[in-house]
Amino acid sequence: MSFVLGRTVGGYEFLDIINSSKTQISYRVRNALTGRVEMLRILQEGLQHDQLRVERFLREMKLHSHLVHANIVAFHNALEIEGRLVIVTELVEGVTLAERLTLGPLPLREAFSYMYQALDALGYAHAQAVVHRDLTSGRMIVTPDGTLKLCDFGLAKSLTSPELTQVGTVIGTLGYISPEQVKGSPTLDARTDLYSLGVVFYEMVTGRLPFHAKSQFEIMLAHVKETPKPPSEVNAAVPEELDHIILKAMAKDPADRFQNADEFHTALSVVDAAMDRVSGKVQPLAAQDVMEPPVAPSEARPLVSGPIALPASLQPAASMSTSLFREMLSSHSDISELTIIGIVTAVVGVVAAFAYALMSKH
């Protein structure tokens, strides 16, 4: 039995159905007290008496209710309506990352932004001892302003709670599943999520999943045995430095991956910064580029003795245009101001010396 649209029950007005799957129905509802439009999820009628499904639904309620983060869909309420358990969450207007990827691979800047947000969300969840275990591009919602929200904690597990899944049972979505999930390991930890996020990252920059096969068994075997083609070989716009990051996240052995979200984030930041330098973005000068060792008074040089010498990092390359060089100088106002002061001081000194010579003749 599904809820009748237009009817208000349990304090919620049922507006329409967002989606319906074999296991759940999601409704757009309006909270009768606050007027806020939210999302309400419920198990399909045929699963109301499935003990494992109900236990997982209850566990999702408990785990999700403790996760409060800007990049995780907000939990609002859990209750019974007409004898059926429901979860009420934030309704996020946007598209899933999977839907966004139907248009092709993402620009690198967009992909990096989503990765940083996903890593922030996972880092927070892992700090609360929660492992998602079913991370896919379809479980990430992107809003019109570029905010990414992680959703659907149906297979999430607390590292401190009992295991509901039998040992040897494969859980997760095959395209994104970690090798240890394929093997049915009973001790999945945060590194499982990082593997799946590595797959999502691969998908973001190439527009496709790393493994393709005719059967589910072959896909599972590929996750355990095969090394995916480097992303840069699939999409020439991907720098080779990024290959290492993605393939490390997808290492077969959890010990060879990033050990936590912070490590992943840091490695990504290093490549991000390197890409900025390659693209020509002016970076802050290092101290050695703007300072020289002091000289003794007896060895002091004239203020100006020929062309003004600039630090090596400010010397224009042969291919650099004059306008770009001026722009680079202007971005370091402390350097350009000192140079101007030196020139002005030198000119004043020359003029004074010339005036003194004229006066001496008279």
Active site residues: 134
**Euclidean distance between CA atoms 140 and 161, whole angstroms:** 25
Instruction: Transcribe 157-169 into DSSP letters.
Output: EETTSPP-SPTT-
Contacts of residue 38, Cβ cutoff 8 Å, sequence gap at least 6: 12, 28, 29, 30, 31, 76, 88, 89, 90, 91
Q: Vertex 35, ends 31 and 40: CA angle to 5°?
A: 30
- How many whole angstroms from its chain centre is CA 225? 27
H or E element, residue 41:
strand 37-43
Closest residue by Cα to residue 87 from 60, 54, 51: 60
Q: Which residues contact 306 (CB under 8 A, 6 or more apart)?
A: none
41 backbone dihedrals φ, ψ, rounded to 5°:
-115, 145
What distance in Å separates the CA atoms of residue 130 and residue 66, rounded to the nearest whole number? 10
The pair phi, psi for residue 103, each rounded to 5°, is: -85, -5
Instruction: Quote the CA–CA distance of 52 and 70 in Å, as a whole number.
Output: 30
As beta bridge partners, residue 9 has: 12
Which amino acid, 219?
Answer: I
